[in-house]
């Protein structure tokens, strides 16, 4: 690899780690809000979590669930970015989990995070719940990511377009594969069920995330075909 290519990869990984860090902070703030404000805490926490996505899009960090929307148009030589991005995101989230464990927040956020993910893992139909929940999340993440380009054309606020789908999915508790890593770190255990839950969350985020891009791509193809004289 040339020096420029190596530097590009290094920057990509660093942006992925920073993105995971933002998700970790958003998830921690969300948990702490639920501790402080009870029933209202879930809504407040969802709003706080959305600020992490807002920062990621503003500074063009690399988030796995955001990159998923580009899969239909991604070249084969660029597919390596997806697993590397998820790994970088997971590292960023792990850093947050480690730092939080040394602060007073640990006494409240860690038990809440562990309890939240343990409840999902203990469901009899946890596999189907994980897949379906993460599909919803993937669709909403794509709506958020694409809002940056589409919403201003309608004369609407890009900020609202970005944050509203995130608030929606966070409030409903849909499974975000990267955010889930924070809760798994707080849970502090590794099992085949945990591995399966992570894998299904990733798959569901991908399936939900590419749904709109695939339809838009098909729509453009149909429109271009109609313009060709018979």
Q: Give the chain's domain count.
A: 1
Q: How many CB atoms lie within 10 A of CB 155?
A: 6
pLDDT of res. 139:
98
pLDDT of res. 94:
98
pLDDT of res. 229:
60
Check residue 103 and report its DSSP letter: S
pLDDT of res. 228:
61
- Structure tokens that stand for 184 in this block: 């798994």
With a cut of 70, list the residues of the chain below it in pLDDT. 1, 227-230
- Dihedral sign for Cα atoms in the order 198, 202, 208, 209: positive
> Which CATH number belongs to the domain containing residue 181 in this structure?
1.20.1080.10
pLDDT of res. 227:
62
Instruction: Give the whole-angstrom CA distance, residue 166 versus residue 110.
Output: 22
Range of the domain at 102: 3-227
């Amino acid at each position: 690899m040339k020096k420029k290519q190596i530097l590009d990869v290094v920057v990509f990984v660093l942006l992925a780690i920073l993105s995971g860090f933002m998700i970790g902070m958003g998830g921690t703030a969300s948990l702490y809000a639920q501790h402080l404000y009870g029933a209202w805490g879930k809504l407040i926490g969802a709003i706080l979590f959305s600020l992490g996505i807002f920062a990621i899009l503003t500074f063009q960090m690399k988030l796995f669930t955001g990159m998923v929307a580009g899969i239909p148009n991604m070249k084969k030589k660029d597919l390596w970015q997806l697993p590397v991005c998820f790994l970088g995101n997971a590292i960023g989230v792990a850093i947050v989990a480690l730092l939080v464990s040394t602060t007073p927040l640990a006494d409240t956020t860690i038990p809440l995070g562990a309890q939240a993910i343990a409840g999902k893992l203990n469901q009899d139909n946890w596999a189907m719940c994980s897949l379906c929940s993460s599909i919803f999340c993937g669709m909403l993440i794509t709506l958020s990511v694409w809002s940056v380009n589409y919403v201003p054309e309608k004369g609407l606020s890009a900020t609202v377009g970005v944050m509203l789908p995130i608030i929606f999915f966070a409030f409903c508790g849909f499974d975000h594969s990267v955010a889930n890593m924070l809760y798994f770190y707080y849970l502090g255990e590794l099992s085949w069920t945990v591995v399966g839950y992570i894998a299904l969350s990733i798959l569901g985020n991908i399936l939900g995330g590419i749904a709109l891009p695939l339809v838009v791509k098909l729509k453009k193809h149909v429109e271009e075909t109609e313009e060709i004289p018979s």
